[in-house]
Structure 1
Amino acid sequence: MAPISLESIVGALPTTDSWGPTTSTETTLNGVPYAPFSKADKLGRMADWTEGKDRDRAGRTQYNRNYRDQQAYGAGVPNLFDVEKNTDEATFSVVDNTRTVRSRGFGRGGGTVFRGRGQRGGTAQRGARGAFQRVQGRGAQQQYDSRSGRGGRGGRRFGWRDDKPQRNRDASVNVKPEWTMLEEIDFNRLLKLNLETSDGEDLDSYGFLYYYDRQYDKQPGAKTSEKKLTVVERAAYNVTTSHDPIINELAEKDEATIFTTDNILSMLMCSPRSVYSWDLVILRQGNKVFIDKREGSALDMVTVNENAADAPLETSEGNKDSMNSPGSLMLEATHINNVFPIQVVTESESAKREMPNEHPFYNPSEETDPPASKAYKYRRFDLSLERDEEPLHLIVRTELDAMVKNNISGEDQFLTIKALNEFDPKAQGSGGALDWRAKLGSQRGAVVATEMKNNSCKLARWTTQSILAKADQMKLGFVSRANPKDNNHHVVLGVLGYKPREFAAQMNLNLANGWGIVRTMADMLLSRGEGKYVLVKDPNKPVLRLYDVPLNTFEEEVEDGLPVQEEADEE
């Protein structure tokens, strides 16, 4: 066979200039109906075959989110792809017209079910679980369903997460740009801490105490036990750690490493229960740590229904009743807790117990009102661990409000006195509280249980303060408004007494967890150098943040005499 040359191969190739099929001048759209479209349409939208499906009985085009970006170009041109509807369907009829009668029952898919597994949105629908009916006036009924909202199938799902109002609370203190964040601690980590400590030891006591008036222990809720809450002018003090002369003396004597007050320490120990924002100022000087608070701190205010599922709303959140806003309720509760302990004691110079030392803060030459019944006990707790080379002690200033004679032994027992307040059981933010006037006498357990749920942080702090002071009893007063629409006049409905440790067990309060939190914070601070630190609770998250701040923080003054922080808050 003769060899094939390259020239023969090249000569066999087509003589055209390009590869591929031959081009044609004819178009494939000739004779085919054409729908106008916009050049901005996505591919596949030139011919919409689904338009006829989105028309309701009235002929209006329904909204379809799959086609919400459809262009309006060419909307007025008749659709050439519409197929004429077949009119034969008008002659169609169902052969079997018998009605199916369903028996009334109480099981799954039965008739009217008020709890458990029932029907979706009422008796006209099927399926679902957890539906219930609310009967209105004149026999009308309105159905609610936990899965599909109000009545019927479908609709948006309203669960407890969706129904809960979205809160955006403000922080108790403004974080400045020059602050350096050192630690961010989640509450879940704090709940895992644990430290067993002793009951503590008394170092010294100051002040005096009057006896508690037992007339307030009459049957709570009874009309005869109601007493008007009166304001008695007495000198009361809430001195912070760094301004306490007794704590400064103990620090100079090197009696402990950490110093604080029961009001501040209880907030730190019960921090996982808190919802509102708060802050602590911590000063490290040498090997000493002073846990302090700033002037005008939120720690001085008594919260109301802080832990309720529907906590009181701010006026900025849509609350039209400013009297029942969180800020107004705090002022009201704080006033009640300042007045109530003074009213329920019997002031008698002959029946009065003086402590070994005089009142540390009262100065007769400067005060015009006599001092209130109060005893200050400075107590020391050992927070040491086995691995510690040196012991770690904490000194806390605790407070007692009154004393009472034991009915059996006749010995004096120390009391702490606090007051719960009712504003309006029908108002927003009441947390489903019972009417105290009607239920306190017959269902006191239910009333207290509701308060434990709605005011978990507040009651935990009060119980912790009572245990720190080694009080024998904790008296809880129930104070309500004389008129729900008036927050200036109140009545005392009754007083209940509890042993602090038993009350702590009822509300699942673990003191060992609180001491573990204190020890963890102490290790964080002692591992750092001298300076000032601020611990802030995030206003909207269960998180604590530790900041390193300049030494002059909260101490600078402006021209009008207001602290810098307060001026920023007013703006």
Structure 2
Amino acid sequence: MAADAPSFVLPTMQDNPDGSWGPSTSAIPTQYKDIPYAPYSKSDKIGRFADWNEIEARGNTRDGGAAAGGRQNRRYREGPAAYGAGGPSAFSYTHAEDDASFSLVDNKGAPPKRGGPGGFRGGRGGANRNQPGQRGGPPGRGGAQRGGYAGGRGGARDYIGRGGMRLGRRGWRDWEKPGRSRESSIPIGPTWNLLEEMDYARLGKLRLDVDQSATLDTYGKLHAYDRLYDRVTTKSERPLQIGNKIRYYSTTSDDPVIQEYASKDAATVFATDAIISLLMCASRSVYPWDLIVNREGNKLFFDKRDGGGFDTISVNENAADPPMEKESKDDINNPADLALEATYVNHNFSFQVVKEEQQLEFDHPNPFYGPEETDPLASCGYRYRTFDMSVNEEEDVKLCLRTEVDAFIPSQQSNKNDLVSIKTLFEFDSRAQGAGGAPDWRTKLDSQRGAVMATEMKNNSFKLSRWTVQAILAGAESMKIGFISRASPRDNSRHVILGTATMRPTDFAAQLNMSMANGWGIVRTITDLCLKQPEGKYILVKDPNKPVIRLYAVPDSALTGEDGEEDEEVEIDVIEEE
């Protein structure tokens, strides 16, 4: 029996001299030395040898896909995986064959796709969660995307119905529309040097509180706002008259007052309210734009480019389905023509709604109106103001800004007059492509003005935010927004005034979710980037198809010569046409 008794020999205990957990290098057998080892911690607990839930999520897709997906999402909500779980594993099975070479022979027909075209699975809020118009999403997101699916709670019902192929009222055949590939506002030269690239996500995180401001001087003359236009309704509409007055939109470097302040070292950065408001609201812009930055000594001058279309007003830029480019010669609803028409309407409205018999003269006359001019001067006042953008007491970074106001309202209780900024919203055709789902103003403006304004805030978020920021920078007490529509949808030469809304700039900024602190942070960040560069000329360019802003260093000879002269002539022709 002693010979048949089983023998038991204790295994050799491997001691790791390094003190770490796991096998030592010398103790690893030769046949296992090339196999990687996934480390783990002593405190880790082994919960299970096999994750059957994950196996089910991977394999059972016919009848348990939704449940398995829920379990898989729950795993991500529980927190990060254990230490060493992401290490390489030689024991993972990888199928080396090409699955595309196999096919399943089945006589059954393919099940119908649920959702809209392309196989999207519809849910609450729209046909696809990444499409614009999502319930609860920020206004203006996805304005440059091709899709135009109906948003809101009922958006999915427009696509999912009996048979799974019911099509909704909007977004019909959106997948067949051509891509919105826009061209840059300025051609990028081969000698331009890319210095910085900023995306909208980065701009949205910037913050700077600027509280200190002072008014250096005032120039120009204002007319009183006519309160009769506050009582205009769709039933008592008024035709929009064509004005012949002069108004100047000079850039920063062409302003003699700013040049005088620059010679006295009144500030470090010089610009206009139109340029600074563009930078503050840059993360809402969709269409391309560009700005010129000149570094002279320790000073920065932000300028617009001649003939660049900077002063034109876009229409439905942030809409989910913005106006398309010109498809035929008779198409008057393309972005370029609509921008010129909206600019024309905005100028004439500001000329019409003021009373010339009541005037408010500022401390100095208009600096751009020469003695050789014969046409009457429009109501416009310039307030040159400084804003302290310094982060601490050791630095001195001030912004000298030329701000504009359009009219004033006489105050009956005190001697102080309220300054007014006058702007317009434009309706071309509520049933045309690019209208952004706006209701017909002639039937809804009087009874549902809130809904009309909400739609305009969504479709024109960038434009309205810029106007609001300009009013705040100028210190205007109120904004007058006129609702202008075509007399006939197919005639872009005659317009009517359907109503007027009054807004407080600070309250309207809160409704637009516009943060002045974020805007000042963007301006200060761009200022710091330019101040770090040597003296020279730089250009800020908004990418035409991506939410990205780029800063280029360009030669001093850029944008001058024959090209610049041609651009200047184009701008003069546009002004004469208006």
TM-score by length of structure 2 reads 0.70
Q: How does 1:431-450 map to 2 (within 5 A)?
A: 431-450=436-455
Q: Show CA shifts across 1:198-219 (max 9, x none).
A: 1511000001001001110005
Counterpart of 2:536? Answer: 531
The DSSP-based 3-state class of the residue aligned with 1:268 is helix
Counterpart of 1:376? Answer: 382
Counterpart of 2:290? Answer: 279
Q: How does 1:320-331 map to 2 (within 5 A)?
A: 322-331=331-340
d(CA) in 1 for partners of 2:285, 2:241? 31
Q: Structure 1 residue 472: deviation in Å?
A: 0.6
Counterpart of 1:361? Answer: 368
Asked whether 1:490 is paired with 2:495, we answer yes
Q: Does the CA contact (< 8 Å) of 1:203 and 1:380 recur in 2?
A: yes
**Residues 187 and 561 of structure 1: is their aligned pair in 2 closer, same or farther, counting only changes over 3 Å?**
closer
Between structure 1 and structure 2, the one with the greater Rg is 1
The DSSP-based 3-state class of the residue aligned with 2:557 is coil
Counterpart of 1:234? Answer: 245
Q: Does the CA contact (< 8 Å) of 1:145 and 1:151 recur in 2?
A: no
Counterpart of 2:309? Answer: 298
Number of corresponding residues? 438
Q: How does 1:532-571 map to 2 (within 5 A)?
A: 532-557=537-562, 561-563=565-567
The DSSP-based 3-state class of the residue aligned with 2:310 is helix
**Residues 384 and 50 of structure 1: is their aligned pair in 2 closer, same or farther, counting only changes over 3 Å?**
closer
**Residues 154 and 389 of structure 1: is their aligned pair in 2 closer, same or farther, counting only changes over 3 Å?**
same
d(CA) in 2 for partners of 1:379, 1:363? 24
Q: Structure 1 residue 409: deviation in Å?
A: 3.9
Question: Structure 2 stretches of 5 or more lacking a match?
Answer: 1-96, 127-154, 572-578
Q: Structure 1 residue 128: deviation in Å?
A: 7.8
Q: Does the CA contact (< 8 Å) of 1:187 and 1:542 recur in 2?
A: yes
The DSSP-based 3-state class of the residue aligned with 2:559 is coil
Q: Show CA shifts across 1:246-299 (max 9, x none).
A: 000000000000000011111011000000000000000000000011101232
**Residues 346 and 177 of structure 1: is their aligned pair in 2 closer, same or farther, counting only changes over 3 Å?**
same
Amino acid at match of 1:262: D
d(CA) in 1 for partners of 2:455, 2:158? 27
The DSSP-based 3-state class of the residue aligned with 1:414 is strand
Which sits farther off after the overlay, 409-418 or 258-267?
A: 409-418
Q: Structure 1 residue 166: deviation in Å?
A: 2.7
Q: How does 1:161-180 map to 2 (within 5 A)?
A: 166-180=179-193
Amino acid at match of 1:326: P
Q: Does the CA contact (< 8 Å) of 1:120 and 1:151 recur in 2?
A: no
Amino acid at match of 2:354: V
Q: Show CA shifts across 1:357-382 (max 9, x none).
A: 011000132x1201101100000000
Amino acid at match of 2:183: D
Q: Does the CA contact (< 8 Å) of 2:288 and 2:544 recur in 1?
A: yes
Identity in percent:
49
Counterpart of 2:428? Answer: 423
- Partner of residue 346 from structure 2, selected from 323, 337, 355: 337
Q: Does the CA contact (< 8 Å) of 1:120 and 1:131 recur in 2?
A: no
Q: Does the CA contact (< 8 Å) of 2:307 and 2:568 recur in 1?
A: no
Provide the aligned C-alpha RMSD in A. Answer: 3.5
Asked whether 1:200 is paired with 2:213, we answer yes
Counterpart of 2:263? Answer: 252
d(CA) in 2 for partners of 1:52, 1:499? 69
d(CA) in 2 for partners of 1:49, 1:525? 59
d(CA) in 2 for partners of 1:496, 1:298? 27
Amino acid at match of 1:357: H
d(CA) in 1 for partners of 2:195, 2:177? 33
Q: Structure 1 residue 407: deviation in Å?
A: 4.8
Question: Structure 1 stretches of 5 or more lacking a match?
Answer: 1-42, 57-63, 65-118, 133-143
Q: Does the CA contact (< 8 Å) of 1:146 and 1:159 recur in 2?
A: no
Q: Structure 1 residue 406: deviation in Å?
A: 3.0
Q: Does the CA contact (< 8 Å) of 1:479 and 1:492 recur in 2?
A: yes
Q: How does 1:59-458 map to 2 (within 5 A)?
A: 152-153=163-164, 166-198=179-211, 200-221=213-234, 223-224=235-236, 226-315=237-326, 322-348=331-357, 351-365=358-372, 367-386=373-392, 389-409=394-414, 411-458=416-463
Counterpart of 2:146? Answer: none
Amino acid at match of 1:562: E
The DSSP-based 3-state class of the residue aligned with 1:337 is helix
d(CA) in 2 for partners of 1:153, 1:233? 58
d(CA) in 1 for partners of 2:122, 2:367? 66
Counterpart of 1:101? Answer: none
d(CA) in 1 for partners of 2:346, 2:158? 43
Q: Show CA shifts across 1:322-375 (max 9, x none).
A: 200001100100111111101000111xx211111011000132x120110110
d(CA) in 2 for partners of 1:564, 1:477? 31
**Residues 442 and 250 of structure 1: is their aligned pair in 2 closer, same or farther, counting only changes over 3 Å?**
same
Q: Does the CA contact (< 8 Å) of 1:304 and 1:333 recur in 2?
A: yes
Amino acid at match of 1:152: G
Q: Does the CA contact (< 8 Å) of 1:322 and 1:328 recur in 2?
A: no
Q: Show CA shifts across 1:517-570 (max 9, x none).
A: 000011101111100000000000000000000011111126x95259989xxx
Counterpart of 2:149? Answer: none
